[in-house]
Amino acid sequence: MEQNYSVEDLLHLMAQLRNPDGGCPWDLKQDFASIVPSTIEEAYEVAEAIEQEDFEHLHEELGDLLFQVIFYAQLGREKGYFDFSRIVDTLVRKLVRRHPHVFPSGTLYGSRSAGALDEAEVKRNWEAIKQAERTAKGDSGTLAGVATGLPALTRAAKLQKRAARVGFDWPDIAGTLDKIEEEVAELREALARGDTEHAKEELGDLLFSCVNTSRHLKVDPEAALRGSSRKFEQRFGFVEARLQGEGRQVSEATLEELNRLWDMAKGQRPPGAES
């Protein structure tokens, strides 16, 4: 049986791709900034495989994501910033530090904890440790350290979660729903005045309020929106296929016809649903 390659083999491969003498021209052109879009894309492909329960290909998508880390490690080594071993070392030290309930001695191979904490206490300790880390970096504010490069929905949820931890939150989901209705009314008012700039602001407030509802439901807003987008694709594909079966394009159908077909599509079972 052929022996599996190791992480060391992957690091060697990456070094050869970036070798000025015979390496890959595309890989040699890349830098930290240029591969960021690929990193984001690979992360979303991992999420998609998990959401679709495509476990047959998940390991491949995880490999593609790992390759992004290996690429950054090679770039860091070339610049003298860091290498893969430092990435791993920093990660392990941070995880040991953030799990004192598992590693009470503060070392990876030290004595293990005899008792188990409940999940709520673990979360409180985790957040306290992370806050101490942020303070050590000079990020003392409640909302400090929430990356601006996150997807907008994800960042909104993280900001709201941070604020909720210090008591700034609706007591229940009813308040978030009322806020959505309030923002819809304000958006209508702005549109009625023809104030497009204010309407843009109100639309953002409406989306932010929807994220708050999602958070109270303990639903990831990005995942919820991706699900709705997939549903839209499936239903629109049904409409398009029906019209193409009649020898027509979507643009040739009336709005009434499209709405009728859309209602038919809503009645269809999604792929993979039990019959």
Domain ranges of the chain: 7-82, 152-219, 223-266
Q: Say what the pLDDT of residue 102 is.
A: 86
Q: Say what the pLDDT of residue 231 is.
A: 94
Q: Say what the pLDDT of residue 221 is.
A: 95
CATH T-level topology, domain 152-219: Helix Hairpins (1.10.287)
One fold for both 7-82 and 152-219?
A: yes
Q: Please, what is the Cα angle at 164 between 163 and 166, to 5 degrees?
A: 75
Q: Say what the pLDDT of residue 241 is.
A: 96
If one looks up domain 7-82 in CATH, what number appears?
A: 1.10.287.1080
Instruction: Indicate the pTM of the whole model.
Output: 0.68
- pLDDT, mean of each 10-residue run, the chain (275 residues): 92 97 96 94 92 94 98 98 97 92 87 68 77 76 86 94 93 96 98 97 97 96 93 96 96 96 86 46
Instruction: Give the span between the Cα atoms of 244 and 53, in whole angstroms.
Output: 31
